[in-house]
């Protein structure tokens, strides 16, 4: 009895504090600025009370109100909220598209690429290729095995279908002068092979398609790999068989 009343009183008091906090937080985040901590707290409170509509409005306002400074986190919070709510792929893609425009090297670009690759829309799949190429322009992504796996998978699909080779060519044109040294040197081939064979496999596939079967990276990794594993022999066959693709995209 008494314990129950005490618990109820404490709970009511807590709710009172929550409501006060919510009112204060709401006032703070009306003022244009970067309010990440406050926005997260406020959205947590709203979600706790099941007020998902208000939470969504707050996050949209924070992300899209032009009076607020451009803030990548605003789009991350919106995306995470939409994902928790089980919103449509279209909504998720819209949220990440803006994040991609602001921070092309954001870690969520892998999720974005995966979503776009699965899309039935051609322009989304093309954007997916653009997104993963752009992420790999950054030094922090050089050894990201997931990213290379995403790129390898999409490049392989395009090469097998022989549709949309122009997409690869378009991305490669602006990179062919600097990616070979940045990603595909013999030094990196040795290091990647020593430290992460899966990474070197994915990179070798991409290198072989983009630079042809005589590329240093591909030659080193496929040579080492053929001694070690069956899948590297398959890789070598695949790149050799599709070598004409390299000639078509490099011209």
Number of structural domains (the chain) is: 2
Chain mean pLDDT for the chain = 90
Pairwise pLDDT comparison (245 vs 87), residue with the higher score = 87
Say if residue 165 is in the same domain as residue 77.
Answer: no
pLDDT digits (tens, 9 = 90+) for 21-59: 777 778 877 888 899 998 998 899 899 889 999 999 999
Identify the pLDDT of residue 237. 84
Same domain, 84 and 196: no
Residue 176 and residue 210 in one domain: yes
Tokens 């244009």, located at residue: 32
- Report whether pLDDT(1) > 70: no
More confident residue, 21 or 194: 194
Distances (CA, A) of 199 to 52, 152, 240: 41, 10, 20
| 226 and 192 fall within a common domain | yes
CATH at residue 92:
1.25.40
| 123 and 98 in a common domain | no
Q: Are residues 151 and 235 in the same domain?
A: yes
State the pLDDT at residue 228. Answer: 65
Last residue of some domain: 83, 103, 123?
A: 103
The residue-averaged pLDDT of 10-27 equals 74
Mean predicted confidence (pLDDT) in 165-182? 96
Task: State whether 177 and 162 are in the same domain.
Answer: yes
Which residues are CB-neighbours of 147 under 8 A, at least 6 positions away? 109, 110, 113, 132, 135, 136, 141
Domain of residue 48 covers 1-103
| Last-in-domain residue among 103, 135, 150 | 103
- Could you tell me the pLDDT band of residue 229, with boundaries at 50, 70 and 90? low
Let me know whether 11 and 65 are in one domain. yes
pTM of the predicted model as reported, rounded to 2 decimal places: 0.85
Q: Are 69 and 32 in contact (CB under 8 A)?
A: yes
Decide which of 134 and 48 is more confident: 134
User: Is the domain of 141 the same as that of 91?
Assistant: no
Nearest to 201 by CA among 234, 247, 167: 234
Percent of the chain with pLDDT over 90: 69
pLDDT score at 76: 97
Distance (Å, whole) CA 135 – CA 155: 15
End position of a domain, from candidates 72, 103, 134:
103
Q: 118 and 17, same structural domain?
A: no
Tell whether 172 and 233 lie within a shared domain.
yes
Q: What is the pLDDT of residues 65-105, one digit of tens each?
A: 999 988 999 999 999 999 999 999 999 999 999 999 999 99
pLDDT of residue 123: 96
Report pLDDT for 24. Answer: 72
pLDDT at 220: 95
Question: Is the per-residue pLDDT at 193 higher than 80?
Answer: yes
Q: Is residue 247 over pLDDT 80?
A: no
Within 10 Å of residue 93's Cβ, how many Cβ atoms? 19
Residues 56 and 165 in one domain: no
């Amino acid at each position: 009895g008494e314990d129950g009343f005490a618990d109820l009183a404490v709970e009511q008091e807590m709710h009172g504090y929550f409501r006060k906090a919510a009112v204060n937080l709401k006032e703070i985040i009306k003022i244009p600025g970067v309010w990440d901590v406050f926005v997260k707290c406020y959205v947590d409170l709203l979600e706790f009370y099941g007020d998902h509509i208000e939470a969504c409005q707050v996050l949209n306002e924070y992300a899209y109100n032009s009076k607020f400074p451009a803030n990548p986190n605003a789009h991350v919070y919106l995306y995470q909220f939409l994902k928790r709510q089980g919103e449509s792929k279209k909504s998720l893609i819209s949220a990440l598209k803006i994040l991609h425009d602001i921070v092309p090297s954001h870690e969520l670009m892998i999720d974005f690429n995966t979503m776009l690759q699965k899309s039935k829309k051609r322009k989304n799949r093309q954007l997916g290729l653009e997104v993963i190429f752009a992420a790999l322009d950054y030094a922090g992504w050089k050894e990201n095995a997931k990213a290379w796996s995403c790129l390898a998978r999409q490049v392989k699909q395009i090469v097998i279908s022989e549709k949309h080779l122009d997409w690869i060519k378009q991305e490669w044109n602006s990179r062919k002068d600097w990616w070979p040294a940045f990603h595909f040197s013999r030094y990196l081939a040795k290091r990647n092979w020593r430290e992460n064979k899966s990474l070197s496999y994915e990179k070798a596939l991409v290198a072989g398609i983009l630079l042809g079967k005589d590329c240093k990276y591909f030659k080193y990794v496929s040579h080492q790999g053929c001694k070690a594993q069956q899948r590297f022999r398959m890789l070598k066959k695949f790149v050799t068989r599709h070598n004409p693709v390299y000639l078509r995209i490099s011209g």
